[in-house]
Amino acid sequence: MTEPSKLPHHGVPEHQPAAGGIAARARASAAPQYLTGLNPEQRDAVETLDGPVLVLAGAGTGKTRVLTTRIAHILSQGRARPHEILSVTFTNKAAREMKLRLGQMLGQAVEGMPWLGTFHSIGGRILRIHAELVQLKSNFTVLDVDDQVRLLKQLLQAENIDDKRWPARMMAGLIDGWKNRGLTPSQVPAGEAAVFGNGKGGKLYASYQERLKILNAADFGDLLLENIRLFREHPDVLRQYQNRFKFILVDEYQDTNVAQYLWLRLLSQAASKPGAPLSAVIPGHSDSPVIPGRIEDANPESQYNEDSSRDSGSGPSDHPGMTEDPLPASGAREIGAHPGLAPSSPLKNICCVGDDDQSIYGWRGAEVDNILRFEHDFPGAKVIRLERNYRSTGHILAAASHLIAHNEGRLGKTLRTEDVDGEKVTVTGSWDSEEEARAIGEEIEELQRSGENLNEVAILVRASFQMREFEDRFVTLGLPYRVIGGPRFYERAEIRDALAYLRVINSPADDLAFERIVNVPKRGLGDATVQMLHDHARKRRIPLFEAARAVVETDELKPKARGSLRDLILHFDRWRARREVTSHTELAEIVLDESGYTEMWQKDRSADAAGRLENLKELVRSMEEFENLQGFLEHISLVMDRDGGADDEAVSLMTLHSAKGLEFDNVFLPGWEEGLFPSQRTLDEQGRAGLEEERRLAHVGLTRARRRAKLYFATNRRIHGTWSTTIPSRFLDELPAPNVEITESKGGSGWGGSGGYGPSRFDNVESFGSSYTTPGWQRAQANRARNQNRGGSDRGGFEESQSSFSGSRSDASGSRSDAYSRNEAGGGFSRNKRGPMVIEGELVAKSTGTNSEFSLDDRVFHQKFGYGNVVKVDGNKLTIAFEKAGEKKVVDSFVERA
């Protein structure tokens, strides 16, 4: 309805109350209390109750307040009763916070809101009410992941499929992905179904669903998938809920997957009366009948076209119901009719709140396209942008906004603040990751001395393996810390397992360690065997290991178990003997390989298996700082003993993904290097779509900071025991220069400027003493003298080494990719791949523009780009014409003669 003040009156100009005038002040005083303090955009989002609304809520703009106030406004205006509002969130924590805020606004009215919760909790509630319609009983069980895997193992065994080659956990992951996309067994594309079990993936999915029905069970994905099937097959049930929910509110809409999208689209159509014409209209195409639930675009290629650069194999078939038949002449897909929906069903009052710039969960099925297409899916939708940030200072917001503006797949908004500009975002380079950890530790100590609360300090890393160096540094400094979103490095299950092996080697009497790994990986030594060992050990008053040595010489165990236990004892005897002649780091690699522990995680197809392998490699790398195994294990005991109280001040350490929704005064962002951030694996697998998600992740990281955001990168980083020369992340070049300050590292190594671009530690001979005359040091001094004689800088040749990476961004990324892929390909420990264990002088000398061993026209092979011929040699930088990848510039250490 048009407001009376805006009605034209015989040509008289429209009138609006003057800002700050009597009418405006009187109007404000008459407004409900819950509306006070809202800015104009927030108030518009709260008061716009009719029709579809998309609230683009940037970081720190008060989206939770808008959602809760909107519900309060709906109730206070009498537009709906509490049980007529559907409000969905992604986490129980968010749902609890909304209920708490609503309780403060409305009192007990919030207790009458049974439909405020997560997608899956509400889906489960609906499913229990109508369980019989989907072949379940109302008391059905929701299986956890372990139960799913056990059930799938039974099905694999029935199909004579080797569980070691085709792990049940991998099949569980495939099924979960299909359900996230809303695909029933009959809708899974044949190509996808064939990737598991020699083409039996689709059959296993169908058998799994049948078995769930027999067991009166559902898994997590079924809570929505079965809802969608229920609504499609029983339009009367769908109509019941469409009539019930007068208002729908959705939080974090950018994180919805296909199944959640379909579920919302079904409920968001206004129901027609029974007996109405049996068709529904695709939004925006009034001549296009479609089955409700098969939410299809008249031209689906507009959603999944080449320009979207999804690079993940998704296409129109990703949405259930989308077929490959050609479009009719009318430009729409003829799908058929479905009872219960009128030809032009109006859309419900749906309000989705989200931020396309914070969509960072594509790896678990989230579709950023859902929010980008909102106006297309809901014609006539009103888009309200919340751009006033109440969290961060001006420089931080300017940097974050300028960075995210490089993304093409976004609706667009610019965060602003009325607060002070504050401190500029700082960018600091360090020689290596160890100096990076030292520098950040120094800065945190300075903040602590200046009165900053450690609870307001956070370190956000791209990969979990980066945490280890910070944890060790904090133990050395005595800085308390906590890991958010997961256990601390040395508390992770795979690290505890590896440490248990090492503890038994170091001390055969360590019963707790031996019991932990006696059947890890599985050796057929179950609880009965362990209990037998315990009984024998108690009777003889000997350690478990010695009890095991005695038991294997008897017939008390079955032959298979006895053989497995004997092999394990022989392994430990051999490892213990090698301890005297092998370095403790190499011994750790041998133990993890020969025990089968590394192979266990290589065969595990779960999403976190790769991360566990990375953590194991980082564990071995961390051992290099200690003289022997005993010293390392003592260090670990100190780390594990530093548990503070939950209320103690502590630095927060977490991944960028875990940081979403949190905020801190001081945020440190280390590891901004090509290959690490953006992740080379993400770029290789998803192309431009992956790059844009990585950039959104960087945007999320920056906007966690209220007062200070500090970015770091290292010139050299050791990944899984191998040193790699890195280049700064492309995201650093996408920051606005006026809002960024370059600072020197406080790590104390002597390398200044941005990641070693400043004076070299070799410039000062006295710093090493007169007796320091190693070949690497002498070469560095000679390079320095040569540069000075040429009139160059005194950077000792390091500047030349950096120029070798100054080609196109893709070239640098390619060489970085090679360094990473060589470490990630096998996942195991290759003792021949260890990087040069040399002094830093030697390392710098190798980084300079030396002559390459390759010549023009040499035939070479590159692990990523394939075969090619050298067409140009520039120091150690080669230009190669590859057969398939075209002409690329690479460093010669990443190619080999063909």
User: How many Å apart are CA 383 and CA 52, to the nearest integer?
Assistant: 9
User: How does DSSP assign 22-75, residue by residue?
Assistant: HHHHHHHHHS-GGGTT--HHHHHHHH--SS-EEEEE-TTS-HHHHHHHHHHHHH
User: How many Å apart are CA 589 and CA 623, to the nearest integer?
Assistant: 11
Contacts of 422 by beta carbon, 8 Å cutoff, 6+ apart: 392, 393, 394, 395, 396, 707, 708
**Ramachandran angles phi, psi of 5, nearest 5°:** -70, -15
Chain centroid to CA 436: 23
Locus of tokens 């160096």: 469
User: How many Å apart are CA 93 and CA 417, to the nearest integer?
Assistant: 28
User: How many Å apart are CA 665 and CA 677, to the nearest integer?
Assistant: 23
Contact 280, 341 (CB under 8 A): yes
Query: Of 252, 377, 456, 811, which residue is the catalytic one?
Result: 252
Tokens of 182: 């809303």
User: How many Å apart are CA 584 and CA 635, to the nearest integer?
Assistant: 14
Catalytic residue list contains 239: no
Contact 98, 63 (CB under 8 A): no
Query: Of 660, 704, 718, 822, which residue is the catalytic one?
Result: 704
User: How many Å apart are CA 172 and CA 145, to the nearest integer?
Assistant: 8
Query: Of 41, 251, 494, 674, which residue is the catalytic one?
Result: 251
Tokens of 89: 């969130």
User: How many Å apart are CA 638 and CA 647, to the nearest integer?
Assistant: 21
CB atoms within 10 A of CB 82: 18
Phi-psi map region of 21: left, alpha, beta (phi>0 left; psi -120 to 50 alpha):
beta
The most distant pair of C-alpha atoms in the chain lies apart, rounded to whole Å, by 108
**Taking each helix axis from N to C terminus, what angle separates 809-824 and 680-702, rounded to the nearest 10 degrees?**
110
Chain centroid to CA 717: 21
Locus of tokens 């519900």: 71
Cα→Cα distances 784→765, 776, 779, 844, 874, Å: 11, 12, 9, 11, 20
Contact 186, 196 (CB under 8 A): no
**Ramachandran angles phi, psi of 827, nearest 5°:** 80, -15
Contact 227, 148 (CB under 8 A): no
Query: Of 63, 462, 562, 877, which residue is the catalytic one?
Result: 63
Query: Of 42, 358, 466, 585, which residue is the catalytic one?
Result: 358
Pairing, β 53-57 against β 85-89: unpaired
Contacts of 420 by beta carbon, 8 Å cutoff, 6+ apart: 393, 394
Positive or negative, the Cα torsion across 207, 213, 218, 223?
Answer: positive
Query: Of 44, 47, 64, 141, which residue is the catalytic one?
Result: 64
Locus of tokens 């530690």: 761
Pairing, β 877-882 against β 866-874: antiparallel
Tokens of 836: 């040069």
Contact 201, 184 (CB under 8 A): no
Catalytic residue list contains 717: no
Catalytic residue list contains 251: yes
Cα→Cα distances 623→31, 490, 526, 599, Å: 65, 12, 32, 21
Catalytic residue list contains 673: no
Residue 695 DSSP label? H
Catalytic residue list contains 64: yes
The closest alpha carbon to 678, from 893, 360, 440, belongs to 360
CB atoms within 10 A of CB 686: 20
Contacts of 872 by beta carbon, 8 Å cutoff, 6+ apart: 856, 878, 879
User: How many Å apart are CA 843 and CA 854, to the nearest integer?
Assistant: 21
For 688-826, where are the E strands, in sequence order?
A: 705-719, 722-725, 740-743
Catalytic residue list contains 850: no
- Residues linked to residue 722 through DSSP beta bridges, in sequence order: 719
Active-site amino acid positions = 63-64, 251-252, 358, 704
